[in-house]
A and B are shown apart, each in its own frame.
Chain A
Amino acid sequence: MMSDKEKEERLNNTILILKDVLEKNNKKDSEEYERIQKLLKKRKLK
């Protein structure tokens, strides 16, 4: 079973991938992107 740290890591990866995909598809103005940004900030991710 995965440790908590690994789980956190996996969640972070997923969030970052979504951010990347939204950017690549010019979705910076979307509500989803805004929410992802908030999430990144909350989780102290770039």
Chain B
Amino acid sequence: MIGRLGKRLMPAALTTGSLLAFVAFWQVVSLYTNPDFLPSPGRVWDEAVRLFHTPVGGKDILAHVGYSLRRVLTAYLWAILLGLPLGLCMGWNRTCEKIVSPIFELLRPIPPIAWIPIAILWLGVAEGSKVFICFVGSFVILVLNSYTGMRYVDPLLIDAARSFGASRRQQFFNVAVPACLPSIFAGLQNALSMAWMCVLAAELVGAREGVGFIIIQGMDLNRPPMILVGMILIGIVGSLLAASLRWAERALCPWRRELV
């Protein structure tokens, strides 16, 4: 029992230890550099406390995080709603694949961030363009992952279902889709971190709120501590998003537990 508990606590202890080591390293480096160049961890902490009490650009710092999260999650849900069915369909049906893949292959190599200028031209600098960028980023990953997952479903499974008299619909929903869930979940993970990166890029290019705005504001005001607080916040929120998705995966695909 203690051994198992120790095994579960070990990674957490290691991460904490390595973070502490990092902060110590940072402290030592900041002692020997210009404080305007690299502020010490203490100064960044003070700045964080200050930012949590005074609004930036008229809004609370947590409200900024909320704005970014809302954009990411809206885009993410749309990408799931449209991307997963499309990818699964492409993997299952040859005709569907042949219709969609040339257009998809044409647009796929363009990084989502390169869509920012045209998205602003189409949808304005407001919410629309930012949600669109995040959507493009996560949509492509979701389609690719569900498509390849579907293509690599063991044909033996489908044949077995067919020989037990399963209808085409049953083969799809009861056999093929559960079989490619691991690949879908990998896609969901990557798509979420991609969306988080895209919202940041979109907010850096032009926004009045959001986490990207905090760091760009820090740059405009020439305040490195503020930028660092923003960066740390971005890292923490990103890790929390990934962790919550891992938790969802464990709840939804319990048969993959040994691999997680």
Verify that A and B bind, or say they do not.
no
Interface, chain A (partner B; CB < 8 A): none
